[in-house]
């Protein structure tokens, strides 16, 4: 039911095998050590690349971080838009699809998601704004779906005084923070975790049972 993450296609230097390896290894280092404590030399050594090769793809450590964050967020947005577009045309089905997509994303790409949530603060304001805008775009997808569900009488949020903004943030916290404890080879698979997240959120918003099938 819940497929693999949709990725965006780019044709720039970040799409070479070497660039992808640099980003993947740097993600692990930034997650483990933090961005400030990770040096370009450490990234080079962990990737087994020369300075010339690294700088051929990225001009600085900041460029590496920015590329990691934007790749993660762009792919997350692409997965969510695909899920929303291919779901049945009602708020419950669309919300369930969005929850499944965001849960799968943060289970399959845990480190990127966690780094995206914390290390963006080390970017200069103009680049941090790009990251925050993509994060807001994700939240707006959920808020729009929640507002539609309330307007169409599918969700009971308004009846219990729940705010769509708070609810959207709570849903995202549930799915994104699962990346902190989810284990690929644990007792739950990523699709099973996504299924449980979907059912929990369906109950959270008070979705009409007939719409939740």
The per-residue pLDDT of the chain, averaged, comes to 88
Do 194 and 124 contact (CB within 8 A), yes or no? no
CATH of the domain at 117: 1.10.357.10
The answer to the question of residue 21 being in a domain is: no
The region that residue 41 occupies, defined by phi over 0 for left and psi between -120 and 50 for alpha, beta otherwise, is: alpha
Query: When comparing pLDDT for 142 and 5, which is higher?
Result: 142
The answer to the question of residue 6 being in a domain is: no
The answer to the question of residue 162 being in a domain is: yes
Q: How confident is the model at residue 136 (pLDDT cuts 50, 70, 90)?
A: very high
The answer to the question of residue 54 being in a domain is: no
Share of the chain above pLDDT 70, in %: 90
**Burial of residue 12 (number of CB atoms within 10 Å: 0-12, 13-18, 19+):** exposed
Total structural domains within the chain = 1
Its domain, for residue 79, covers: 65-211
Where do we find the tokens 């979705």?
207
pLDDT surpassing 60 at residue 205: yes
pLDDT for 209 equals 56
- Reported pTM: 0.85
The answer to the question of residue 59 being in a domain is: no
The answer to the question of residue 84 being in a domain is: yes
The answer to the question of residue 2 being in a domain is: no
CA distance 121 to 4: 29
């Amino acid at each position: 039911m819940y497929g693999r993450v949709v990725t965006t296609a780019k044709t720039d230097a970040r799409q070479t095998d070497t660039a992808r390896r640099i980003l993947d290894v740097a993600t692990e280092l930034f997650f483990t050590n933090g961005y400030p404590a990770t040096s370009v030399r450490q990234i080079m050594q962990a990737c087994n690349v020369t300075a010339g090769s690294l700088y051929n793809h990225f001009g600085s450590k900041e460029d590496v971080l920015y590329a990691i964050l934007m790749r993660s967020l762009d792919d997350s947005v692409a997965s969510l838009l695909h899920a929303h577009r291919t779901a049945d045309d009602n708020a419950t089905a669309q919300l369930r699809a969005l929850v499944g997509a965001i849960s799968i994303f943060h289970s399959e790409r845990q480190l990127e998601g966690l780094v995206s949530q914390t290390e963006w603060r080390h970017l200069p304001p103009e680049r941090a704004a790009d990251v925050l805008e993509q994060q807001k775009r994700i939240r707006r997808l959920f808020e729009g779906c929640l507002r539609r569900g309330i307007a169409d009488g599918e969700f009971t949020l308004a009846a219990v005084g729940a705010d769509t903004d708070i609810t959207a943030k709570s849903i995202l916290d549930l799915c994104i923070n699962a990346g902190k404890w989810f284990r690929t080879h644990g007792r739950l698979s990523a699709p099973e975790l996504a299924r449980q997240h979907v059912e929990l959120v369906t109950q959270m918003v008070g979705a009409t049972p007939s719409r939740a099938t």
